[in-house]
Chains A and B, each alone.
Chain A
Amino acid sequence: MRPPLIILTDKPLDLAGLSEKLPIENAAGATSSFTGYVRESDGLTALELLQHPVMTGRALDHIARTAMQRFGVLDLLLAHRHGRMGIGEPIVHIAAAAPHRRAALDAVSFSIDVLKTQAPFWKREWRNDRYDWVEPGHEDHEKAAQWLETKA
């Protein structure tokens, strides 16, 4: 199994460039991807994602490897931004390449659902010079639990 492609950066995600990374080989019959963006809401001026200097990258790698193994995908790309970003900017991009569509779709769903509550990121919403922390919601925990409590 090839290692996953992990990108953890404080620079803007280049979606056009990322979209060309998969598939890598002709055995891939399907690719699937998810991109999460900073959405406009209630006077928001910026979103800031804080990371742990060591544990965040390691957690992303672990989640990606688990997804690849569990769903039998050929390649998985997981790119996540940290730092401060404006409305409309991408926060996270995940793509999977697999022999068949179900594996590619499930690997991406698994990765984003699990990442939400299992990767050490903390989010705060800026409104001009004030911020509010965003705590994970009940739905976030439920989505992650669905994958973590059931077998493939």
Chain B
Amino acid sequence: MKLTLEFFGPLQDRMGNASAQIDLDSAPQSLTDLLSLLTGKLDNIAPLQDPHLRVAINDELCPSADSLSLSDGDRVAFLSPFSGG
């Protein structure tokens, strides 16, 4: 399964990139699954383990990280805490 990971906010600096393309052998069912599958695929996944990050799939916020429904070609965004106004 091919996914595009997108990083927003301070996380972008911590990851060293705005996005990354990855190819997974299986479909992750949760954020924990996804992070586990990313180990070894990305240089540094520690910044993605911040519990304050929000996750969006194809520009839709995920209500819960416990259950992810991902398809081939999806974009998964990791969003640093928001700071508007």
- A: residues with CB less than 8 A from B are 36, 49-50, 52, 54-55, 80, 91-92, 112, 115-123, 133-136, 140
Instruction: Assess whether A55 is in contact with B83, with CB atoms less than 8 Å apart.
Output: no
- Known A52-B8, A122-B9, A122-B10; judge A136-B83 contact (CB<8 A): yes
Which single member of B8, B9, B61, B84 contacts A116 (CB below 8 Å)? B84
**Measured between alpha carbons, how far is A106 from B80 in the docked complex, in Å?**
28
**Measured between alpha carbons, how far is A123 from B61 in the docked complex, in Å?**
20
- Known A54-B59, A55-B59; judge A119-B82 contact (CB<8 A): yes
Instruction: Assess whether B79 is in contact with A121, with CB atoms less than 8 Å apart.
Output: no
**Max chain A Cβ within 10 angstroms of own Cβ: one of B80, B82, B84:** B84
Min Cβ gap A79→B in Å is 12
A contact residues around B40 at 8 Å (CB): none
Total A-B pairs, Cβ < 8 A: 62
Min Cβ gap A66→B in Å is 15
Q: Size range of the interface on B?
A: 10 to 19
Instruction: Assess whether A115 is in contact with B81, with CB atoms less than 8 Å apart.
Output: no
**Measured between alpha carbons, how far is A112 from B84 in the docked complex, in Å?**
9
**Measured between alpha carbons, how far is A27 from B84 in the docked complex, in Å?**
32
- Known A120-B79, A122-B10, A133-B9; judge A36-B56 contact (CB<8 A): no
Q: Which residue of A lies closest to B59 (CB)?
A: A54
B13 at the interface (CB under 8 A from A): yes
Instruction: Assess whether A122 is in contact with B13, with CB atoms less than 8 Å apart.
Output: no
B contact residues around A112 at 8 Å (CB): 85
- B: residues with CB less than 8 A from A are 8-10, 13, 56, 59, 61, 77, 79-85
Min Cβ gap A116→B in Å is 5
User: 6 A-B Cβ contacts within 8 A?
Assistant: A36-B85, A80-B84, A120-B82, A122-B10, A133-B9, A134-B83
- Known A55-B59, A55-B61, A120-B79; judge A133-B84 contact (CB<8 A): no
**Measured between alpha carbons, how far is A108 from B8 in the docked complex, in Å?**
27
Instruction: Assess whether B56 is in contact with A55, with CB atoms less than 8 Å apart.
Output: yes
Which single member of A54, A91, A92, A122 contacts B82 (CB below 8 Å)? A122
